[in-house]
Amino acid sequence: MNKRLHIQDLGRKDYKETWNYQEQLFKEILDLKIRNRRESLDLKTPNHFLFVEHPHVYTLGKSGDMANLLVDEKILEEKGAAFYKINRGGDITYHGPGQIVGYPILDLDNFFTDIHKYLRYLEEMVILTLADYDIKAERSPGETGVWLDVGTPFARKICAMGVRASRWVTMHGFALNVNADLGYFDMMIPCGIKGKAVTSLNVELGKKEVDLEEVKQKLLKHFQVLFEIES
């Protein structure tokens, strides 16, 4: 088992380029696992964690409904936004400037083979990070991601999640709104869930802007503890 983590911050990067890079890392781990099995080897598989900030883009998961995108291509073009159908779980989501996107590409054989637990750990990482800012975040039953004021008329989502896994190797991940332009969420039904609002950390704190690098470090710290990452 290898519990070390290779961390990369890609800065602001095109969604498709990042998706291709994820696929490359994902395939390298899968190929190594297949080789280990076929040749009775015990080569350690790597684990990656990518931070990235995307230009405006909407992505639709493999089980998603196109009807949840509320505008046509012309309006997307006017707004400078791209659109992709992708191979993660979940419905439609938005990525854009001011949002921290994290892609853990892990071999869960190095940690635990339980996708449900994996998603709960990602949620817990975000919940603990928001607690560092004195914000009480929580899970919403049956709705993956992180929310505020669950069970009230003011329920709002602050972090979306969607993952893909094959042979216990993960890709895709989470998107935490930190300084996000919430107007872009009006052009879709977020995650296909009607009647639920979306928020951002800066809005909740009443600030114009929150330090993205500080939030990344807090996320990483909690991730490393939860997954018992070795240095």
Q: Which residues are catalytic?
A: 191
According to the annotation, is 94 in a ligand binding site? yes
According to the annotation, is 90 in a ligand binding site? yes
According to the annotation, is 89 in a ligand binding site? yes
According to the annotation, is 162 in a ligand binding site? yes
According to the annotation, is 95 in a ligand binding site? yes
According to the annotation, is 91 in a ligand binding site? yes
Q: For strand 143-148 and strand 92-95, is the pairing parallel, antiparallel, or unpaired? A: unpaired
Residues 6+ apart with CB under 8 A from 15: 54, 55, 57, 59, 82, 84, 95
According to the annotation, is 175 in a ligand binding site? yes
Task: For tokens 């635990």, name the residue.
Answer: 112
For residue 79, count other CB atoms closer than 10 A to its CB. 14
Residues 6+ apart with CB under 8 A from 204: 133, 135, 148, 158
* HSE, side-chain direction, 13 A CA sphere, residue 158: 25
Task: Indicate the annotated binding residues for substrate.
Answer: 88-95, 160-162, 173-175
Task: Indicate the annotated binding residues.
Answer: 88-95, 160-162, 173-175
